[in-house]
Chain A
Amino acid sequence: KQEVTQIPAALSVPEGENLVLNCSFTDSAIYNLQWFRQDPGKGLTSLLLIQSSQREQTSGRLNASLDKSSGRSTLYIAASQPGDSATYLCAVRDSGNTPLVFGKGTRLSVIA
């Protein structure tokens, strides 16, 4: 059974700092991996999707990498801003028709 772990559970950084959020999964035979952002009291917004054949995806200040063999993904946020404060969730999908399995998230606070 796939399990997803995110470390750290919470992170507080000063504005402008570059940071890395970590995600690990137990079964490396994944279909794809998705990073989401969730603001307090809101829904989930998709940030980046990495297919199993890809190594990384980039969107603006965000870069997500995938190392299937080691069962790891990282989300890199460059030049963090207070508006980046949110919970970041990592989720993996084992096949085309199976559901995403989520980690418990990393709660990020960027201090001005």
Chain B
Amino acid sequence: DAGVIQSPRHEVTEMGQEVTLRCKPISGHNSLFWYRQTMMRGLELLIYFNNNVPIDDSGMPEDRFSAKMPNASFSTLKIQPSEPRDSAVYFCASSMGRRNYGYTFGSGTRLTVV
């Protein structure tokens, strides 16, 4: 398996532009998580899905952030409009709901908003 695949790896955009981050989870995993990592706050959970259904989006910082999971093999995180304070590394992870099963993380998308 290729693991959790995120794209793009790096994104530089101007303030006010729309940004879309993409994630392909591991086949067969039924849970998908979006995290954001910054030096100040560490890893923060933004939203997670079980069986493609959003369960908890309380970590989404503002209405400018939205996430979708149209099917079991694809999810997007969109920021519109983007702001400089959104600059961070965004990670996607997937897992199965089993006690002996951990998370697998993607390589992340480094977002810079200028």
Q: Mark B27-71, 1 if CB is under 8 A from A, else 0.
A: 000010100000000110100101000011000000000000000
Q: Which residues of B contact A46 (CB under 8 A)?
A: 102-105
Q: How many A-B residue pairs have CB under 8 A?
A: 53
Which of A34, A41, A102 lies in contact with B102, CB distance below 8 A? A34
Q: Which residues of A contact B48 (CB under 8 A)?
A: 99
- How far, in whole Å, are A109 and B93 apart by their CA atoms in the complex? 27
Which of A32, A44, A51, A99 lies in contact with B105, CB distance below 8 A? A44
Tell me whether B8 is interfacial, beta carbon within 8 Å: no
Q: Which residues of A contact B85 (CB under 8 A)?
A: none
Size class of the A contact interface (CB-based, 8 Å): 20 to 34
Q: Which residues of B contact A32 (CB under 8 A)?
A: 99-100, 102
Q: Mark A4-25, 1 if CB is under 8 A from B, else 0.
A: 0000000000000000000000
- How far, in whole Å, are A46 and B50 apart by their CA atoms in the complex? 21
Interface residues, chain A, with chain B CB atoms under 8 Å away: 31-32, 34, 36, 41-46, 49, 51-53, 89, 91, 96-97, 99-105
- How far, in whole Å, are A103 and B41 apart by their CA atoms in the complex? 10
Q: Is the CB of A97 within 8 A of B100?
A: no
- How far, in whole Å, are A31 and B6 apart by their CA atoms in the complex? 27
Q: Which residues of B contact A36 (CB under 8 A)?
A: 105
The 9 closest A-B pairs by CB, nearest first: A96-B97, A49-B102, A44-B105, A43-B107, A102-B43, A104-B42, A34-B102, A51-B99, A97-B97
Tell me whether B25 is interfacial, beta carbon within 8 Å: no
Q: Which residues of A contact B45 (CB under 8 A)?
A: 99-101
Q: Mark B89-114, 1 if CB is under 8 A from A, else 0.
A: 00101000111111111111010000
Q: Which residues of B contact A104 (CB under 8 A)?
A: 42
Give B100 Cβ to nearest chain A Cβ, in Å.
6
* Smallest CB gap from B30: residue in A: A97
- How far, in whole Å, are A70 and B98 apart by their CA atoms in the complex? 24
Q: Is the CB of A89 within 8 A of B43?
A: yes
Q: Is the CB of A97 within 8 A of B102?
A: no
- How far, in whole Å, are A101 and B91 apart by their CA atoms in the complex? 14
Q: Is the CB of A44 within 8 A of B91?
A: yes
Q: Is the CB of A31 within 8 A of B105?
A: no
